[in-house]
């Protein structure tokens, strides 16, 4: 599992480790990891052109110590100092290794014209402007330097941007973007992931994130991200004496005469094999819709009976509120999707998973969608508390928020997953996991992860439709469990 810690947690862990280490050791660990990440990226150091954008803090020092190592390996390294005072020991080490200070021999003041004197773009620009203690946004001189050194050179190539710890200018603890910021191709972070590495929109500015272990002892993190091994450990695997009822029965109230396809897609997610049985009714009780859905999915049965979880709302239209009230009256856990979300005004009184996209969550909270897009972590948490439910905010990096403040970030999936009906499949899949016995937080986060993995398989580098995502769920599960040797029965 990836753990994303806050700035305060990282600072406390650093202070504890610094008290037990000789002076400078922790910074050297970070700088060495950074330098070798750059070397790996470039396939070597000799003859490569590297520009360091150096601020006043430890982030700038990490960049200069890394630059010194690169210079000793034969790279041509220049530093652009963006502050009157920088880390003196780091600067001395950089100069001693043969690094150059850009503009040091010129009386010309720092500005746009001094940046443009270079004719060949660097191979790498290292962003050491602001570290995890910085505020969102960048000062004008940093913006000017960044624009000048990351533009293509006369050879037409744009340098690769490597951020030190986090891209400068992002909100580290909340994942917000507020003002100019660095957009990195690679972010090399130290000790642990930070929230901005996982939570959008800041996460998208991080590029690929590479973690360097520097020996920090850290507490539990509120923001995490499941990995394949975590999902394998959580997925419900039937035992030798299980049957369809012990594996869980999920009831689906989705689809209507107005939106029949939503019912079929929601059932497709539910019948993917993770629960023992699916009971289906159209939201408006239209038997024609029900017949169509059952024709596509003969595994789903009609008629009343006990269920361990309900999925309600996908394609519900005008009857979604009635279906929601009936499901909640049953007293079982419920997954609330699409049209039914408009009728959630407080706690439902049962264990619940709400699955809005940003527009739906904005309407539920009576805020602008642009606010939700910009402050995803904030509003996902706020909704979880307000409605007393696990909230799944669907986006590029889907957030699963628990009322106690825990958040799991889904990083699986592909852009092609932004297609009509994908949310219906996710609702059905999540309901199956909920019926199988997973608690709402696990069911929602595992469902989101498997949904993204299935989409990646189904897309195979190209476009896809929601129905293909559902068909790929069993193969995605087999691959996940296969890594743990859990796909074959034990004699």
pLDDT at 490: 35
Indicate if the pLDDT at residue 214 is higher than 90: yes
Is 84 annotated to bind a ligand? Reply is no
Q: Is 300 annotated in some ligand binding site?
A: no
| pLDDT at site 112 | 41
- Mean pLDDT score of the chain: 94
Determine if residue 56 is labeled as part of a ligand binding site.
no
404 is in an annotated binding site: no
Length of the chain: 491
- Written as six digits, the tokens of 24 are 């400078």
pLDDT tier for residue 110 given thresholds of 50, 70 and 90: very low
Least confident of 43-47, 105-109, 134-138, 471-475: 105-109
Q: Do 41 and 123 touch, CB atoms closer than 8 A?
A: no
According to the annotation, is 424 in a ligand binding site? yes
The answer to whether 59 is a known ligand-binding residue is yes
Does residue 127 have a known ligand-binding role?
yes
396 is in an annotated binding site: yes
Give per-residue pLDDT as tens, 62-102. Answer: 999 999 999 999 999 999 999 999 999 999 999 999 999 98
pLDDT, position 115: 47
Residue 58 counted as an annotated binding residue:
yes
What are 345-355's pLDDT values in tens digits? 999 999 999 99
Kindly state the tokens that stand for 482: 């296969």
The confidence band for 103, taking pLDDT boundaries of 50, 70 and 90, is low
> Would you say 205 is a known binding-site residue?
no
Domain ranges of the chain: 2-224, 228-482
Q: 228-482 is classed in which CATH architecture?
A: 3-Layer(aba) Sandwich (3.40)
pLDDT above 70 (res 484): no
Q: Domain 2-224 falls in which CATH fold?
A: Rossmann fold (3.40.50)
At 120, is the pLDDT very low, low, confident or very high (cuts 50, 70, 90)? low
pLDDT in tens, 408-450: 999 999 999 999 999 999 999 999 999 999 999 999 999 999 9
What digits encode the pLDDT tens for the residues 332-341? 999 999 999 9
Each residue's pLDDT tens digit, 400-414 = 999 999 999 999 999
- Which pTM does this prediction carry? 0.94
CB neighbour class for 322 (10 Å; exposed up to 12, middle 13-18, buried from 19): middle
Quick one: average pLDDT of 40-51? 97
Q: Flag whether 230 is marked binding.
A: no
Q: Can you tell me the mean pLDDT for 302-319?
A: 93
Cβ neighbourhood burial of 113 (10 Å; 0-12, 13-18, 19+): exposed
Residue 394 counted as an annotated binding residue: yes
157 marked among binding-site residues: no
Mean per-residue pLDDT, 276-282: 96
Flag whether pLDDT at 491 surpasses 90: no
Average pLDDT over residues 19-33: 96
Which band of pLDDT confidence, cut at 50, 70 and 90, is reported for residue 116?
very low
Question: What average pLDDT does this structure show over 11-28?
Answer: 95
Is 61 within any annotated ligand binding site? yes
Q: What is the pLDDT of residues 127-138, one digit of tens each?
A: 999 999 989 999
């Amino acid at each position: 599992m990836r753990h994303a810690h806050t700035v305060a947690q990282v600072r406390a862990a650093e202070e504890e480790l610094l008290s037990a280490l000789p002076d400078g050791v922790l910074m050297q660990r970070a700088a060495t990891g950074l330098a070798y990440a750059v070397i790996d990226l470039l396939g070597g150091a000799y003859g490569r052109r590297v520009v360091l954008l150096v601020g006043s803090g430890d982030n700038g020092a990490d960049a200069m110590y890394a630059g010194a190592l690169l210079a000793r390996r034969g790279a041509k390294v220049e530093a652009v100092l963006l502050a009157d005072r920088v880390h003196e020991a780091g600067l001395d080490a950089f100069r001693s290794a043969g690094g150059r200070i850009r503009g040091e021999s010129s009386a010309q003041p720092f500005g746009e014209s001094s940046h443009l004197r270079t004719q060949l773009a660097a191979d790498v620009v290292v962003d050491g402007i602001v570290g995890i203690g910085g505020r969102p946004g960048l000062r004008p001189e940093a913006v000017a330097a960044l624009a000048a050194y990351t533009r293509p050179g006369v050879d037409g190539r744009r340098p690769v941007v490597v951020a030190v710890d986090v891209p400068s200018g992002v909100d580290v603890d909340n994942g917000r973007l507020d003002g100019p910021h660095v957009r990195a191709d690679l972010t090399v972070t130290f000790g642990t992931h930070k929230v901005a590495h996982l939570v959008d929109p800041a996460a998208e500015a991080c590029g690929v994130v590479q973690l360097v272990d520097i020996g920090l002892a850290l507490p539990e993190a509120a923001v995490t991200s499941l990995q394949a091994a975590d999902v394998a450990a959580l997925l419900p695997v039937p035992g030798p004496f299980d049957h369809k009822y012990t594996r869980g029965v999920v009831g689906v109230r989705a689809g209507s005469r107005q939106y029949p396809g939503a019912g079929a897609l929601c059932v497709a997610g539910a019948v993917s094999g993770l629960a023992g049985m699916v009971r289906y009714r159209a939201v408006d009780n239209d038997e024609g819709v029900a017949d169509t859905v059952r024709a596509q999915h003969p595994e789903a049965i009609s008629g009343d009976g006990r269920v361990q979880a309900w999925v309600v709302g996908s394609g519900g239209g005008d009857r979604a509120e009635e279906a929601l009230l009936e499901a909640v009256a049953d007293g079982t856990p419920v997954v609330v999707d699409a049209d039914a979300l408009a009728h959630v005004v407080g706690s439902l009184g049962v264990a619940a998973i709400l699955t809005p996209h940003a527009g739906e969550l904005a309407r539920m909270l009576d805020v602008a969608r642009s606010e939700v897009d910009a402050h995803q972590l904030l509003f996902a948490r706020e909704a979880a508390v307000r409605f007393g439910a696990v909230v799944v905010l669907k986006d590029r990096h889907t957030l699963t928020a628990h009322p106690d403040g825990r958040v799991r970030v889904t990083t699986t999936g592909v852009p092609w997953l932004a297609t009509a009906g994908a949310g219906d499949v996710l609702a059905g899949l999540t309901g199956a996991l909920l019926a199988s016995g997973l608690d709402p937080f696990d069911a929602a986060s595992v469902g989101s992860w498997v949904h993204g993995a299935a989409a990646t398989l189904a897309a195979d580098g190209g476009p896809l439709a929601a129905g293909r995502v559902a068909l790929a769920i069993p193969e995605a599960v087999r691959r996940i469990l296969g890594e743990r040797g859990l796909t074959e029965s034990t004699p």
